[in-house]
């Protein structure tokens, strides 16, 4: 089928299955276009929690579909490609959390949503890049905090809140690959542009030095800021899939990626054809054992309540 026919087939199957399609902002443009909601991890978790649809087709990566399944144990959650994983989520194991807890029995574990369900089940609270600062700022000041697994997001949270955090040395390979030299080149090419930087980027501190007025924002924060800003040019440091949404929701403005090849190969595993096949056959159901889900649900419920 050509793209137009495939798009219509997906929309018809969605109606027949009483399904909702949720897509992350890093997804392919044609996948974003068939989605009922496109957003960041926090927005997607909230949409998954509130939907009345019987089937949730999650166009993102595995930990996101797990989150939807945990928040909706009575619904069918589909992931169009089970190989859509996450190098950051894979970097940390439950044993890492247990070892830290053994050394810090009064400590609190803050888990970035980019983690597996088994890790979330051991956390006191989950966060996204959109609400991590607010969540950590509200935690008791007399207890040690372990922030896992992204060290760059953790460093950003520590800098803004002034809190001392123990950081797990994890990183997103895509965001970590965005370096200071990439920023310098764009700063020279577009001196009047505003800089929008995702806090997972390895260049975060360097960017604030080079461009003190740069905005450290989640993906959703970038879209909201660009839509409301008076500026017309923006340099964007995150996975390039967001450019489609930025250009669609803020028409007439120019967006320049800091690193044009900042592509998450896991996000891009979800294709329109795979969405169609997943809906047609109800295949690739994501399930989380209830013993794990029950514990993880507490940490996730605390996350969606903030921000």
Residue extents of the structural domains in the chain: 3-85+267-287, 88-173, 178-257
Q: CATH for 3-85+267-287?
A: 3.40.50.10800
pLDDT for position 197: 93
pLDDT of residue 206: 65
The residues near 229 (Cβ < 8 Å, ≥ 6 apart) are 194
- 3-85+267-287 matches 178-257 in fold: yes
pLDDT of residue 205: 63
Reported as a single tens digit per residue, the pLDDT across 209-223 is 777 888 999 999 999
Q: Is residue 199 a known part of a binding site?
A: yes
Give residue-wise pLDDT tens across range 103-127.
999 999 999 999 999 999 999 999 9
DSSP 246: H
What local confidence, expressed as pLDDT, does residue 210 receive? 75
> Chain centroid to CA 294: how far?
22
Query: What confidence score (pLDDT) does residue 179 get?
Result: 84
Question: Binding residue per annotation — 173?
Answer: no
DSSP 234: E
> Any known ligand binding at 91?
no
- As beta bridge partners, residue 236 has 196, 257
How far apart CA 241 and CA 222 sit, in angstroms, is: 13
Is the Cα torsion angle 196, 199, 202, 203 positive or negative in sign? positive
Which are the contacts of 26, defined by CB distance < 8 A and separation ≥ 6? 60, 219, 239, 241, 242, 264, 267
For residue 246, give Cα distances in angstroms to 192, 197, 229, 232, 235: 18, 14, 12, 12, 11
Consult the annotation and say whether 160 binds a ligand.
no
Per-residue model confidence (pLDDT) at position 164: 96
129 assigned ligand-binding residue: yes
Residue 114 is labelled as binding a ligand: yes
172 labelled binding-site residue: yes
pLDDT number for residue 182 = 83
Asked whether residue 41 is marked as a ligand-binding residue, the answer is yes
Query: In the CATH hierarchy, which fold is given to the domain comprising 88-173?
Result: Rossmann fold (3.40.50)
| Low-confidence stretches of the chain (pLDDT beneath 70) | 204-206
Query: CATH number of 178-257: 1.20.140.10, 2.60.40.10, 3.40.640.10, 3.40.50.10800?
Result: 3.40.50.10800
Does 126 show up as a binding residue in the annotation? no
Could you tell me the pTM of the whole model? 0.93
Is 224 labelled as part of a ligand binding site? no
Quick: pLDDT tens for 135-166. 999 999 999 999 999 999 999 999 999 999 99
Q: What's the rounded Cα separation, in Å, for the pair 277 and 274? A: 5
């Amino acid at each position: 089928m050509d793209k137009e026919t495939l798009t219509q087939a997906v929309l018809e199957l969605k109606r027949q299955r009483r399904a909702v399609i949720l897509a992350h902002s890093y997804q392919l443009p044609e996948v974003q276009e068939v989605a009922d909601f496109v957003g960041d991890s926090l927005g997607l978790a909230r949409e998954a929690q509130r939907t009345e649809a019987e089937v949730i087709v999650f166009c993102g990566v595995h930990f996101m579909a797990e989150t939807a399944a945990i928040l909706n144990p009575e619904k069918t959650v589909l992931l169009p490609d089970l190989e859509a994983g996450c190098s950051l989520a894979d970097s940390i194991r439950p044993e890492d959390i247990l070892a830290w807890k053994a050394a810090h029995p009064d400590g609190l574990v803050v888990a970035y949503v980019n983690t597996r369900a088994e890790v979330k089940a051991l956390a006191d609270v989950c966060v996204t890049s959109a609400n991590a600062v607010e969540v950590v700022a509200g935690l008791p000041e007399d207890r040690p905090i372990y922030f896992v697994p992204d060290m760059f997001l953790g460093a950003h949270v520590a800098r803004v809140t002034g809190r001392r955090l123990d950081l797990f040395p994890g990183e997103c390979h895509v965001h970590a690959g965005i370096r200071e030299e990439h920023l310098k080149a764009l700063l020279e090419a577009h001196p009047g542009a505003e800089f929008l930087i995702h806090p997972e980027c390895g260049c975060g501190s360097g960017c604030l030095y080079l461009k003190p007025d740069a905005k450290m924002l989640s993906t959703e924060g970038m879209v909201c800021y660009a839509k409301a800003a008076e500026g017309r040019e923006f340099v964007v440091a995150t996975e390039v899939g967001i450019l489609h949404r930025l250009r669609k929701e803020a028409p007439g403005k120019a967006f320049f990626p800091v690193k044009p090849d900042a592509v998450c190969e896991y996000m891009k595993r979800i294709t329109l054809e795979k969405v169609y096949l997943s809906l047609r056959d109800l295949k690739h159901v994501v399930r989380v054992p209830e013993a794990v889900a029950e514990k993880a649900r507490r940490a996730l419920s605390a996350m969606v309540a903030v921000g």
